[in-house]
Amino acid sequence: MLRAVAVTLVLSLATGARAQSDVPAAAPPPPAASAPAEQQPPEPPKPAEQKAPEPPKPAEQKAPEPAKLPSSGIPTVPDVPDEPLPDWHPPTVLHRGAQFLEVSPQVASAQRIRQVGLWISSIGWAQLLAAGILYGWAVNLNDDVGHPHADGSGMANSSGQITQTQVFDPRLEDERNRVQNASIGLISIGTTMAVTGFVIYTIGQARITSWHKQHPKDPLPPLSGF
């Protein structure tokens, strides 16, 4: 009986060992939770490299060749002699006097009248000055005629003075008359010209004054009195 119990125990043990060998082994437990592992974001997929399409190359164009003239068609340049230049002449002077470009024609005409009057009056006064000089010369000659005067020899007496004579000399009287007549003629002519020039100047000045009263903003010539 003990033998039967032993055999039964051995069979039960063998059956249990076979059952355990047939059961699959269990998965090992997961490791303990530790610090969360650094998770990197997944890399995006790289697009396929695409090359830009090359532009179409334009067709090579050659510059047109210049036209060639035949050697026989080129004209020859004639050898013409130089022509002499005309003789140079200075330009003609159209206006020699002063011109007032900024004044009106009426004022310019009046200014010319004034200038003519000034010239005539100036000549008259110069003649009056010459007449005064001649008149003084005539007075000296008249003194020589009526008083002792030099005899004209140029000799000096014992006192060192030019020898004089009391003899009447008709030549001195004739010279006195000529000088006196010349002075009188210059006085008459000079007086006439001085008065005439003053009258002409007054006419020109009156025209300038009249124009200035009508057009006070118009420019005037110099020495116009305004």
**Residue range 116-142: average pLDDT?**
93
Whether residue 185 is predicted with pLDDT greater than 90 in this model: the reply is yes
- Tell me the pLDDT tens digit for each residue of 27-57: 455 544 444 444 565 665 565 555 666 766 6
Beta bridge partners of 165: 149
How sure is the predictor about 151, in pLDDT bands with cuts at 50, 70 and 90? low
Q: Kindly report the average pLDDT of the chain as a whole number.
A: 76
Residue 164, helix vs strand vs coil: strand
* Res. 22: pLDDT tops 60: no
The percent of residues above 70 in pLDDT, for the chain, comes to 58
Please state, for a pLDDT cut of 90, what percent of the chain lies above it. 26
Q: Is the pLDDT of residue 26 over 70?
A: no
DSSP secondary structure string for all residues of 12-23: HHHHHHHHHHHS
With a CB cutoff of 8 Å and minimum separation 6, the contacts of 196 are 120, 121, 124
| pLDDT, position 37 | 45
Q: Say whether pLDDT at 209 is over 60.
A: yes
| Pairwise CA distance, residues 108 & 102, whole Å | 9
Whether 117 contacts 200, CB under 8 Å:
yes
pTM as predicted: 0.46
Which residues lie closer than 8 Å to 99 by C-beta, 6 or more apart? Answer: 108
Task: Report whether pLDDT(7) > 60.
Answer: yes
Backbone angles phi, psi at 105, to 5 degrees: -60, -35
Mention every residue, 6+ apart, whose C-beta is less than 8 A from residue 33: none
Looking at residue 176, its pLDDT comes to 87
Strands 164-165 and 149-150: antiparallel
How deeply is 121 buried, as exposed, middle or buried, from its count of CB atoms within 10 A (0-12, 13-18, 19+)? buried
pLDDT of 181 higher than 90:
yes
- Mean pLDDT across the stretch 204-219? 88
Domain ranges of the chain: 117-214
